[in-house]
Amino acid sequence: MNSAEQSNLVFDWAAEGPRRVQWPDHVMIDDETLRDGLQSPSVSDPSLETKVAILHLMESLGIETADVGLPGAGPQQREAVTTLCREIDRERMRIRPNCAARTMVVDIQPIADITQTTGVPIQACLFIGSSPIRQYAEEWSLEDILRHTREAIGFALREGLEVMYVTEDTVRSSPEHLRTLFTAAIDAGAKRLCLCDTCGSAVPSGVWNLVSWVKSLLKESGADVGIDWHGHRDRGLDMGNTLAAIEAGASRVHGTALGIGERVGNTPIEQLLVNLKLLGIRNDDLSRLPEYVELVSQATGVPVPVNTPIVGRDAFRTATGVHAAAVIKAHKKGDSWLADRVYSGVPATWLARQQEIEIGAMSGNSNVIYYLNAHGLPGTAEVVQAVMQAAKHSTRVLTLEEVGEIVRSITGSECEPATRSKSGAKF
């Protein structure tokens, strides 16, 4: 089947009708797993060796930049950031590091020191709260924030650091205050502005309005300054908000593996990478994406729920008869492209996975016949009937061992099921 025939099989409502998004050719990704991700109250801090391994997996996925830590937080963080920067230099990695810092010299100086020690340029991400509610709680005036902004950016630049200016809680800040702060940051020499949904309070329309407004402000100023989007997921709108930010003009967006991070976390990197590839905005090799997520999961102690999009155990797995029958029919046509998409919005092969057929109470004969064949087990009518009967009386899908025992009880043979990976029956 050629590409034209494939496109005729899937109608795209996003490409038809009155609202059509003009996506950019490319958008960069900043991975916050090793900084914001580790601010989750439930994670364990990975070992230095594991952090290096995670960094290499980021590199393999084509991620352009990574926040490698908050060195101002103490010696342990400084050691981690130094180690990661040395690894980037030694392995001549493409990924570029950045570090978070408050708009305070005590936070910025360690970044400058590590840059001098390793010879690796580190972008300083200087953050300060900008919303009225934050100003009220902290008893800050706009003049206080402006003073910290100018002093911090000036110091960072004198130390040879490139600066991204980060306004925390940007989505709840007024345009008047943002205009004042962003103009001051640009005049001081910031090269990027990071817009934050720090409390996960935004909706996509609000994100689009904010980013569009900032884009217009930059156009007025004539400054060559990039726009970052950093979104949290407290309302579960993280992915929608990130896509809205890209649509409106953000040139770099942030996320973390499994969406880990402060409170309930951030936009999940694995979902971001897959969605951007589906939209044609990026074309990364995602075959090591499950490995990346699994390593972060093990290292931080954050389990992967079975129904997690993209990387969950059940992402490409079905035991429902109607669904399985469609996949099996596509497979019988000898069309792997069709089999991977007829009942899936995400191609499993992108992730070095495959569509999986299991046997459960909602299964049909086609599930059983395929499963038996896939595992080298005899598929006689008597065996199929016995397996179906067991499935209909089960409260879960049957295990390979259970199916094998049923086969042995019917055939009297000692045949053993073909070995398989933990992903189950595949094609």
List the domain range (segments joined by +) for residue 366. Answer: 317-411
Does 108 lie in the same domain as 206? yes
H helical segments located in 169-320 = 175-188, 204-221, 238-248, 269-278, 289-300
- Could you tell me if residue 312 is inside a domain? no
- Could you tell me if residue 4 is inside a domain? no
Does 347 lie in the same domain as 293? no
Does 287 lie in the same domain as 329? no
Lookup: tokens for 70: 């908050």
d(CA 24, CA 205): 18
Does 232 lie in the same domain as 361? no
- Comparing 32-41, 228-237, 285-294, 418-427, the range with the smallest average pLDDT is 418-427
pTM, rounded to two decimals: 0.92
Lookup: tokens for 334: 């000898």
pLDDT in tens, 98-143: 999 999 999 999 999 999 999 999 999 999 999 999 999 999 999 9
- Could you tell me if residue 399 is inside a domain? yes
pLDDT in tens, 294-320: 999 999 999 999 999 999 999 999 988
| Mean of pLDDT values over 206-226 | 97
Please give the tally of structural domains in the chain: 2
- Could you tell me if residue 11 is inside a domain? no
| Mean of pLDDT values over 202-223 | 97
pLDDT: which is higher, 308 or 331: 308
- pLDDT over 70 percentage in the chain: 97
- Could you tell me if residue 307 is inside a domain? no
63: alpha, beta or left, given left = phi > 0 and alpha = psi -120 to 50?
beta
Secondary structure of residue 180 in the 3-state scheme: helix
Does 152 lie in the same domain as 106? yes
d(CA 122, CA 116): 10
Does 390 lie in the same domain as 350? yes
Q: Roughly what angle, to the nearest 10 degrees, separates helices 142-158 and 175-188?
A: 20
What CATH number is attached to the domain comprising 264?
A: 3.20.20.70
| Mean of pLDDT values over 409-426 | 63
- Could you tell me if residue 394 is inside a domain? yes
- Could you tell me if residue 3 is inside a domain? no
